[in-house]
Amino acid sequence: MEEGRNAVRENSVMHPCFHLHQLLSKHAALNLADIWKQSERWSGCSKHHWHIFSVLRCPCTRASQHPIMAGKGNAIIATSLTREDDPQSTNDLGHPTEPFWSRSQYYGALLFNVAAFILPALYATLSKLWVANIDSSMVVTTDAYTYISIVAEVLNEGLPRAAWIIIGDKANRSLASRHSLSYTLILFQTFLGLIMSIAIAAAAKNFADAFVPADIRSASLTYVRIAAFSALASAIETAVAAATRALDKPDVPLLISSIKFAVNIILDMIFISKYHVRGVVPNVNTQAAIQLTCGLVASFAGLLFFAWTTIRKHSRSTSEESVRPSLHALVVLARPGFMTFTESAVRNALYLWLVSNIVSMGSNYATAWGVFNTIRWGLIMVPVQALEATTLAFVGHSWGLWRRSVGINNRRPKASTKQLLTIVKPALTSSMIGLAFEVPICLFLSFYGAQRFAYYISASESVSKIVEHMWKTIDWCYICYAISTQLAAILLATRPRWYLYQSLASNLLWVLPWAIVVSVTDLNADNAWTYHSIVFGGSLVFSLADIIIVDAVWAWMLKKGRMGLPPLVGVFM
């Protein structure tokens, strides 16, 4: 013991940037109080050791409550983390250790996420405008691309949504293991995306029969076959985005969106816009090919950038832990991933069932629904999507840190009110920001912008009037959606099983009964929205009430120590 104390004193004076983890490996029983006294001298040390310093300075450490300090025989583990990977640095919105604009802080990550989400939404709007200029009757065909994305969503919301609770757990998993999990996720999703793309392309006629109006169905088969491989691009992009956001690297999804947007705009200007080059005859299939090419290029560019940064970081690390994909990592992701996959499969199956009914109402009604979705899920929902991604990352960090603080082997821990508020604070903050944005936007569109925006996109007076009616009927419901999305993120980032339960409650108790009613009722374009508005708008209101109740039960059970938590697999102890 005395030898260890002397080693600390000598090394800290002679060389402030000495390799602390090597010293600790030689003196496992080193008294951490001595290291604490010397820690102020190490403030100039390289950020490679920041994690150890943050642990020693943490208030939990001083109170002997930190897991590393909870016991006389425990030793510090070198995790090869950099300052940006410090589990203490991203979980306190009130006392951040880095500037608020840093990507490892809530507001910095939010800015990155807003930029990453707004570019695809802007392009989705512009692409409909350009197709309308080519042939307004073919605008509805571009919705096939959207519906293929919804089918792919079943895969994209499976394992990737497990990233927040697994890869986002920086308090209990080493950086190398989180990178290994990320590569495993990306590889597996790429494989599934390729299979799905081939399947959709092979069944293009059946797909068009279900989701393209009859009068333009035959002309849309080539578009569907091209767009089918967007499932592959989407799978890669979603996996890379989820993994890197969970790793506090929202710049990678921003890079993907920026490349996709820039190349899309350039190629669209050349080939399909009003200003296209002479000799080129623009058509909707050209737009599909451009969109697919840009999606694949951007996705692989993001993947290569992530791989390059990972390799560079580990080349400077002394850790020998492998970052390669592995079957073990897939098993770790599979448990929560099964919950999110099941939830997504049920929700999207019901949605596509309803969409097939909408398409049967005729071209104008189907086009109006597509334009309505462009407004609803496009620029209007960008803040909600960005807030959700930010909430998921930071609730995941807070949850992992709390589990480590109470002991990762404690399967029924109790959480104090203060600890619960710390965990859910990102979600509450996001809810307030989302509410402040959605209310004025909904009012603006209802009283002024909905019909104008719809006409601008569709170039059809009749379609724009249908869209205006749709929006004015259920616009207020999306305020409920903005809040419920952030509150549901608490469950997704902490207890995916509970997230599945609340989603099943909403879909089986509200959406399914009304979907059955819609399918057996004799509907036409004049009365269909009466029923569809009840299904879609009502589900948003029902979901908000549902998630508030489930979140309240979640908090009560944690506070009383009655919630059984699953074991943490593949963590450092």
pLDDT score recorded for residue 122? 81
Rounded CA-CA distance 190/537 in Å is 34
At 87-98, the pLDDT tens digits run 444 444 544 567
Q: Which amino acid, one-letter code, is at 107?
A: Y
Residue-level length of the chain? 573
**Distance in angstroms (rounded) separating the CA atoms of residues 190 and 192:** 6
Split at pLDDT 50, 70, 90, the class of 380 is confident
Let me know: does 401 contact 407? Beta carbons within 8 Å.
Answer: no
Distance separating alpha carbons of residues 118 and 526, to the nearest angstrom:
34
Q: What is the pLDDT of residues 499-541, one digit of tens each?
A: 999 999 999 999 999 999 988 888 888 888 989 999 999 999 9
- Pick from 99-108, 154-163, 194-203: least confident: 99-108
The better pLDDT of the pair 359, 215 is held by: 359
CB 176 within 8 A of CB 237: no
Please, is 95 exposed, middle or buried when counting C-beta atoms within 10 Å of its C-beta (0-12, 13-18, 19+)? Answer: exposed
- Write out the two tokens for 337: 């991933």
The candidate with the shortest Cα–Cα distance to 283, out of 198, 229, 226, 210, is: 226
Q: State how far the alpha carbon of 478 is from the alpha carbons of 336, 438, 481, 537, 552, in Å.
A: 28, 8, 5, 8, 22
Q: Report the run of H or E that residue 460 belongs to, with start and end.
A: none
Q: Using CB atoms within 10 A of its CB, is residue 36 exposed (0-12), middle (13-18) or buried (19+)?
A: middle
Residue 450's pLDDT band (boundaries 50, 70, 90)? confident
Helix axes 204-211, 175-202, angle to 10 degrees: 90
Mean pLDDT of the chain: 79
More confident residue, 434 or 131: 434
The answer to whether 78 and 113 are in contact (CB under 8 A) is no
Determine if the pTM surpasses 0.85: no
Mean pLDDT across 315-340: 84
- The H-assigned helical ranges of 96-250 are 106-134, 143-156, 163-166, 175-202, 204-211, 221-228, 230-246
Model pLDDT, residue 332: 92
* pLDDT value, residue 155: 86
Confidence band of 449 (pLDDT split at 50, 70, 90): confident
The conformation of residue 448, written as its DSSP 8-state character, comes to: I
3-state secondary structure of 169: coil
Please report the pLDDT score of residue 513 as a whole number.
Answer: 93
Is residue 116 scored above 80 in pLDDT? Answer: yes
Q: What is the pLDDT of residues 11-35, one digit of tens each?
A: 444 444 444 444 444 444 444 444 4
Residue among 566, 540, 170 nearest 338 (CA): 566
pLDDT of residue 209: 78
Is the CB of residue 364 less than 8 Å from the CB of residue 460?
yes
Dist CA 524 CA 526 (whole Å): 5
Query: Residue 283 carries which DSSP code?
Result: -
* CA–CA separation, 419 and 406 (whole Å): 11
The string of DSSP codes covering 499-549 is HHHHHHHHIIIIIHHHHHHHHHS---TTTHHHHHHHHHHHHHHHHHHHHHH
At 390-420, the pLDDT tens digits run 999 999 999 999 998 888 888 889 999 999 9
6: confidence class by pLDDT, cuts 50, 70, 90: very low
pLDDT for the residue 215: 66
Which of 205, 206, 223 has the alpha carbon at shortest distance from 140?
A: 223
Q: With contact defined as beta carbons under 8 Å apart, do 204 and 263 qualify?
A: no
> What is the residue whose two structure tokens read 């695809």?
120
Which whole number is the average pLDDT over 171-192? Answer: 92
